[in-house]
Amino acid sequence: MSQLSETPERGRGRLGAVLVSPTLVLLAAVIGYPIVAALVTSFRGDPSLRNGFFTHGGEFAGLSNYLHWLTQRCGDTTCPPGTLGGHFWGSVLVTLFFTAVTVSLEVAIGVLMAIVMNQSFLGRGFLRAVVLVPWAIPTAVTAKLWFFMFAYDGVINRSLGTHILWTDGAWPARFAVVIADVWKTTPFVALLVLAGMAGIPDDLYEAARIDGAGPFQRFVRITLPLVRPALLVAVVFRVLDVLRIYDLPAILTHGGGGDGHATTTLSILTVQQLQQGYGGASAISTLTFVLIFAVALTLVRVFRVNLVQSEQHGVS
């Protein structure tokens, strides 16, 4: 009898494995092979050219590509004077700066936008549709749009009455990228938070009003805890997106500004290195992958604890 009872379970297990196998094979081909190929290439030297032909290079180089980037310092012949930590570490700091600043602003502004769009007023549907327009515009179009707006005689300088070289100065170029990215992707955060607010019963707010809770108390004690899962999902997605940002700073400032590397992110540095050789570029892409994987793993673990705690304690 025990064998007969186990047969359906085994049959379902085999059926599940068969149904999932095509997806696993596709993921292995699309994701697994490029990762392995890049990792193998990162341990090889870059071929050199002589008389228009590759003469030597491409052999096993060990950790030389990684040591080249990880030990690069300011003042080296390959490092522009004044650049913090060389090309690689400077790009790491620029990428982390964009991640911290843009995600913080997008979360703060996105929550405020969601609160406004969650209210009942005439034209609410039209406002929700208009707010999503920046997010629907392709990033390349957004970058070119803000490039003209940040021009020396563009609408930004004319409106502010300033003469700032937004795409040439180091910090103006960084702030230009931040402003453009916040303008484009804040609606994404607002949309996720708004979806979380839509599931909050009105009875909770009504009970809080009867108990004398003000708007700020209702937001802190009811809205914020209940939308926390949606908000954490938005934060994770946005952090991972900004860590691999490429097209916006590449088109808006060409990865330059100031010393020529003020807005060079890790993805931009990888593409630039491809012109020199695949070995060094593969090493940078592998280091970028390790950084993004570590950040993603940390966020998932931390936020999973918060979600479990919020479900256990409920709304305080």
Low-confidence spans in the chain with pLDDT less than 50? 1-5, 49-55, 75-85, 305, 307-316
Whole-number pLDDT of residue 141: 93
| DSSP state, residue 167 | T
Burial 173-204 (b: 16+ CB within 10 A, else e): bbbbbbbbbbbbbbbbbbbbbbebbeebeeee
Taking every pair of Cα atoms in the chain, the longest distance, rounded to a whole number of angstroms, is 86
Whole-number pLDDT of residue 262: 85
Per the CB < 8 A criterion, the answer to whether 114 and 190 are in contact is: yes
Per the CB < 8 A criterion, the answer to whether 174 and 213 are in contact is: no
**Residues with Cβ within 8 Å of residue 272, at least 6 apart in sequence:** 255, 264
pTM equals: 0.79
- Integer CA distances (angstroms), 122 to 107, 194, 195, 205, in order: 26, 18, 20, 21
For 145-196, the pLDDT digits (tens) are 999 999 888 899 898 888 888 888 888 899 999 999 999 999 999 999 998 8
CA dihedral 167, 169, 173, 175 (to 10 degrees): -140
Q: Is 191 helix (H, G, I), strand (E, B) or coil?
A: helix
Residue type, 135: W
User: Rounded to whole angstroms, how far apart are CA atoms 262 and 169?
Assistant: 8
- Going by C-alpha positions, the residue among 122, 129, 99 that lies closest to residue 190 is 129
The domains of the chain are located at 2-41, 72-313
What is 72-313's CATH topology?
MetI-like fold (1.10.3720)
User: Rounded to whole angstroms, how far apart are CA atoms 307 and 143?
Assistant: 36
The label of the residue with tokens 């570590």 reads 294
User: Rounded to whole angstroms, how far apart are CA atoms 224 and 216?
Assistant: 10
